[in-house]
Amino acid sequence: MSRNQLDRETSPYLLQHRSNPVHWRAWNVEALAEAKATGRPILLSVGYAACHWCHVMAHESFEDPVTAELMNRDFVPIKVDREERPDIDAIYQTALALMGEHGGWPLTMFLTPEAEPFWGGTYFPPEPRYGRPGFRQLLAAIAESYRAKPESVAANAAALREALRDQAAPTPGAGITLATLDVAAGAMLRMVDGRAGGMQGAPKFPQTSAFQFLWRAHWRSGDAALGRAVTLTLDRMCEGGIYDHLGGGFARYSTDAEWLVPHFEKMLYDNAGMIELLTLVWQRTNSPLYARRVAETVGWVLRDMIADHGAFAATIDADSEGEEGRYYVWSADEVADALPGDLGDLFRRVYDVSQAGNWEGHNILHRNHPGGRVDEVDEARLGEARAVLLELRSRRIPPARDDKVLADWNGMMIAALARAGFVFDRAEWIAAAARAFDAVAAHMVRDARLGHSLRAGKLQREAMLDDYAQMSRAALALYEATGEARFLAAGENWCETAHAHYRDAESGGYFFTADDAESLILRTKSAIDSAYPSGNAAMVETLARLWHVTGREVWRERAEAAVAAFAGELGRHFPSMCALLCAWELIEGAVKAAIGGAPGDGGRAELLRAVASVGQPNLMIAYEESRAAGAVICRGATCSAPLTDAESVRLELNRRLRG
């Protein structure tokens, strides 16, 4: 069918392209069959709704009739939402990396009719610039090469096919020890920017798994330098332009090395990771800044990110009215008009607002400068000022929201809300997490199997490993926060399903896709973290928690087998496997607080508040409602006597958590 077919889809990203003159197809059996029938190569374009450079390439190239004619004539154009189909994205991002190119979005890949990659890149401008060829010239060159040099194309495809297979077969190993973790933490510490926090250089990403790994090492070893690296990073992020000081929430990354200029899109998963990490570090530091940022970010989630049935939406766009960041930046005159007098002077000084601006003639609100520090009296006044500007900002045309519900990202936010709600004693946060969990369980499960993506009543039924791992992890977080056995049962059931359909029975670990999923050119398996923990790392953590909570040895065996399947990769891929190392530490060093008493029992509640006051890198909770209120603290096979007062619980937990 010679027309754009994306009007049949529900993905907001795909629908953004439904009016392009390009004859886009979604990734499906019909599109792949068309490529084989016509012998034309596939032009695969992968992106997501909140992606700024995806919008740029769309405006420059995909909306251009001349470019579209070249694409339609010589290729079968296929458009993929990487959030709907991370399995497809993972394969072709890996292929691009094997070509020696940096990955990212938009991803632009050229495939044989059999969907095997032979060339690719990311963003291409319409005309040559930035050291990159123009997209129209590239299309012509690829089409000519495909026609005139089929043997060269076949050789490229074959080489990439073999390299992809090698990548999908990670090296197993053994011998991870606490000493291994200490050495790795020391190596990572040398990568941290000692002035601005985060990893050295630009751009800077939150990398919450890596900094949780450092925080665990600090807790375990007492090394103050490790702790300072984490708190410096969090301080700079919380006060930087990467944070939305009016509405709450963190942007995806900072384009500079100072945390000033964000890539303005907001992702659900980044904010889940930040809520968890800030909560964890607050438990030891009691930083008022971290407590505020957790509360403000949760406020943003519950205000702006609720989607169908109480689950959470995926992203907020970087652009509005065709400009990146327009919704978030201010002129000095706008601030002065909204905040006259001394309050305006205070706000402009603290948030670095000037006539010249601090970014392209505009002002990004931030406090990473000496004038950004104030006392509590002025902090209260600034709260009033922020409320005025937030209300004023709400009258602007907002960035678009991608409201599809992703099971894995929802799992991350559910776990973050449950744990933050438990620590900060915010029952409404736990309730919101439970509502989202129930929404996923009610509307994204068919025939006892999870789906991956839900929007406009359409469920994408093929779940990834991450969906099972993160929703199981969320179930256990809710169990620990509430004591409700139904959450523990759900976590166990989903782990059993994942083991049945995703396990690599030959080499160990878990595949990204199920054994009965759509057949792609490769079935991937990885423990390398992306912007969030790998599915295998999340699975190991969940299995470890299940073992400690239930005592069933099978959960430990599965967790250890999954770690062993990837242990040989640590030397090559650290620090991109920090989440797996954190999960391994949980197997070996977890401390369990077994809490007795009935729900609503005042004694039980007091003991739980004591547990919540202790930093939780390796702490978990189990409930025993059959006995009187009390706590037994266990590490490995060694347990305390029953404890009935909160102070004794705190002391015992701190003693055992330090080993």
- The per-residue DSSP string of 518-566 comes to PP-S--------SSS--HHHHHHHHHHHHHHHH--HHHHHHHHHHHHHH
DSSP calls for 191-217: TB-TTT-SBSSSSB---HHHHHHHHHH
Which residue numbers in the chain have pLDDT < 70? 1, 657-659
Tokens of 354: 């000037």
Instruction: Report the pLDDT value the prediction gives residue 331, as an integer from 0 to 100.
Output: 97
- CA dihedral (444, 446, 452, 453) in degrees, to 10, reads -50
Phi and psi based region of residue 127 (left: phi greater than 0; alpha: psi -120 to 50; beta: remaining):
beta
* Residues 6+ away with beta carbon under 8 Å from 54: 13, 47, 48, 105, 106
Phi, psi at 64, each rounded to 5°: -90, 120
Instruction: Report the pLDDT value the prediction gives residue 2, as an integer from 0 to 100.
Output: 79
Cα separation, 361 vs 363, whole angstroms? 7
CB 290 within 8 A of CB 281: yes
Q: How far is CA 124 from CA 15, 67, 459, 626, in A?
A: 21, 12, 33, 64
CB 41 within 8 A of CB 113: yes
Cα separation, 459 vs 446, whole angstroms? 9
How buried is residue 322: exposed, middle or buried, by Cβ count under 10 Å (0-12/13-18/19+)? exposed
Instruction: Report the pLDDT value the prediction gives residue 636, as an integer from 0 to 100.
Output: 84
Domain ranges of the chain: 6-167, 178-320+402-573, 328-395, 592-657
Residue percentage of the chain with pLDDT more than 70: 99
CATH architecture, range 6-167: 3-Layer(aba) Sandwich (3.40)
Could you please state the CATH topology (level 3) that the domain comprising 178-320+402-573 is classified under: Glycosyltransferase (1.50.10)
Phi, psi at 78, each rounded to 5°: -125, 130
How buried is residue 616: exposed, middle or buried, by Cβ count under 10 Å (0-12/13-18/19+)? buried
Place of tokens 């009610």: 442
Q: Where do runs of H (alpha helix) occur along 339-464?
A: 341-350, 376-393, 407-423, 427-443
pTM, two decimals, is 0.97
Cα separation, 145 vs 392, whole angstroms? 55
Cα separation, 173 vs 233, whole angstroms? 32
**Secondary element (H or E) of residue 638:** strand 638-639
Instruction: Report the pLDDT value the prediction gives residue 654, as an integer from 0 to 100.
Output: 82
3-state DSSP assignment of residue 253: strand
3-state DSSP assignment of residue 577: coil
How buried is residue 586: exposed, middle or buried, by Cβ count under 10 Å (0-12/13-18/19+)? buried
Instruction: Report the pLDDT value the prediction gives residue 659, as an integer from 0 to 100.
Output: 57
**Domains 6-167 and 178-320+402-573 agree in fold:** no
Q: Among residues 51, 62, 72, 79, which one has the least CA distance to residue 135?
A: 62
Cα separation, 528 vs 509, whole angstroms? 12
Place of tokens 């080489």: 159
